[in-house]
A and B are shown apart, each in its own frame.
Chain A
Amino acid sequence: MDPYLVSVLSNIGMISFIALSAYLLLLTGEISFGQQAYFAISAYGSGIATAMWGWPFWAGLLWGATLAGLAATLVAIPTLRLRGLYFSIATLAFAEMVRLVFEIFTYQVEIDGELVGPDGSDGFRDIRYIYDSNVTAFEYMLVIYGLLALVLIGFFVLERARLGSVFRMIGEDPMLTEMQGLNATAYKVLAAAMAGVIAGIGGGLYAHLTTYVEPKIFNVMLGVHSLAYGLIGGLGTALGPLLGVGIDIGFLESIRAISGYRMIVFGGLVAVLLIIRPRGILDEATVHWLRRRWRRWIHAQD
């Protein structure tokens, strides 16, 4: 496969994790500008585990995702009591704090005569596990998409289960959800923790693909983009955020004619789209309509 295509597809895959993470919180009606924080925590955490402690890749990834989930839970408990906008700003403040801490965070050890580890704003080099293990870029892309498929299956199970319905209920009307005997805040914390883990998987994958992470990648642009993907693609299904990522990175980046003006086109497109469809292309009503059509079609085949 063409190396450029592999790298674009790998990027789409990784960004999809953080987009799905923001999407999960959007389902519960919460707007997080800060999912990049968990992406960053896991990128550093898993990188430290494999490059400095000599852990195997999967253990490092698991460790990074766990750290991200824990951090997300700890942040969610005090902030999810806040309403709407206050929560959004709190996530933004936390994510910027995380980025700025990594700007000054230095923790290095000597391995084979070279210093390895995060070095403040110079970043964290030589997370070489994948290259040292002779995994090709194509194979690693398969790893990314394998994990993405697992997460998506998880989302589809969630959507069919009562838990997914609880999340959507909270997103529509928290008070009415409480009136069904459910503790809305507790479920929001659960959603935030799950979202943290999902962003964490993406972060760990990212660190090992690029072998180099620096704090400024995890700025608020990453967070707001991942939020926008769900809103562009649609909030009716987990395929929505993937569609959003595909439109931005896959489609617009590949049109060379607009390479210098990509953001002008993308920005305008999003703004117009949100006027016509405030809940994205695949919004709930569309997904509902498609499901009915699908079921009717299945019946017709029988």
Chain B
Amino acid sequence: MLRTEALSRAFGGLQALAELSLEVAPGEIFGLIGPNGSGKTTLFNVVTGVYPASAGRVWLGGEEITNLKPAQVIRRGVARTFQNLRIFQRMTVFENVWAAQHGLPTLRPRELVLPDRAAEAERRAEVRRLLEATGLADRAEMLAGGLPLPDQRRLELARALARDPALLLLDEPAGGMTPRETEAMAALIREVAAPGRTCMVIEHKMDMISALCGRLCVLNFGRKIAEGAPDAVLSHPDVLEAYLGHEAGDA
């Protein structure tokens, strides 16, 4: 589904990603872990075109997408959430999810001004279904800026799902959540991935990620230091050495 080849990104002297080669298979939930500043979010940013790659290439489902503009990558079936929560604060919860449909390739430009009645009703029903699924239905008419943090994370997920993406990039979907909320989020992600959707998840919560993901990749200083099944990866000596020393500070 997603393949990177020797992908690198430098910021001045800092090598945020160093020759990273990864392959995410269709339909799997792939975990990305590593200490803070190890390049996880940078990978999402380079894949979605927020930053151009310094070197290396990216393929999405067999098509090369290296250095495309963000909108072009997104239109090819990618959606993401943000670690530091980016929502349209001055819009309602409903509008935030509805907004994700504006750029759908199936929406004709004319429909931005003059919608087809039936199609628009169907799309609005879809927004309501997503709000229902993420447990936000009763807050649909609130301004999104006033939502508590866990709800903002769920809103980000609902908004990403409104694009019905083939590849979903989740950046700390359970960040700042209580154990119970984390569990609910994990269940939600599993549900979302059930119809064969590919997911990549960045997360610091080890219990959640090892239960959720089929495979994990560990980054440190922009390099891949281990990859494979959660149990094998988490007991890998390099990972223990590079990661566990930092974990107390990270979690």
Contacts and interface: CB of A to CB of B under 8 A. Distances in A.
B41 to A, nearest CB: 14
Nearest to A184: B71
A180 B74 contact: yes
Interface of A: 157-158, 161-163, 165-166, 168-169, 172-173, 175-176, 178-184, 284-285, 288, 292
A187 B70 CA distance: 15
Contacts of B114: 161
Q: How many B residues are at the interface, by size bracket?
A: 35 or more
A162 B115 contact: yes
A180 B90 contact: no
Nearest to A236: B90
A178 B69 contact: yes
Contact of B90 (A168, A179, A183, A292): A168
A179 B80 contact: yes
Nearest to B107: A162
Given A166-B102, A169-B99, A179-B80, A285 B71 contact: no
B74 A285 contact: no
Contact of A161 (B69, B91, B112, B143): B112
B218 to A, nearest CB: 26
A165 B50 contact: no
Which residue among A162, A166, A175, A182 has the maximum number of chain B CB atoms within 10 Å of its CB?
A162
Which 8 pairs from chain A and chain B are nearest by CB? A181-B103, A181-B74, A178-B70, A182-B103, A163-B112, A284-B90, A181-B75, A162-B112
B4 interface: no
B98 A288 contact: no
B219 to A, nearest CB: 22
B86 interface: yes
A161 B115 contact: yes
Nearest to A279: B90
Contacts of B71: 178, 181-184
A284 B89 CA distance: 10
B141 interface: yes
B223 interface: no
Nearest to B90: A284
B111 interface: yes
A179 B165 CA distance: 12
B183 to A, nearest CB: 28
A175 B86 CA distance: 10
B91 A173 contact: no
9 contacts: A161-B112, A162-B107, A162-B115, A165-B95, A172-B88, A179-B48, A180-B74, A285-B143, A288-B92
A163 B101 CA distance: 11
B188 interface: no
A285 B105 CA distance: 31
Given A158-B113, A178-B69, A173 B88 contact: yes
A179 B99 contact: no
A182 B102 contact: yes
Contacts of B99: 165-166, 169, 180
Could you say which of B88, B90, B105 has the most chain A C-beta atoms within 10 Å of its C-beta?
A: B90
B80 to A, nearest CB: 7
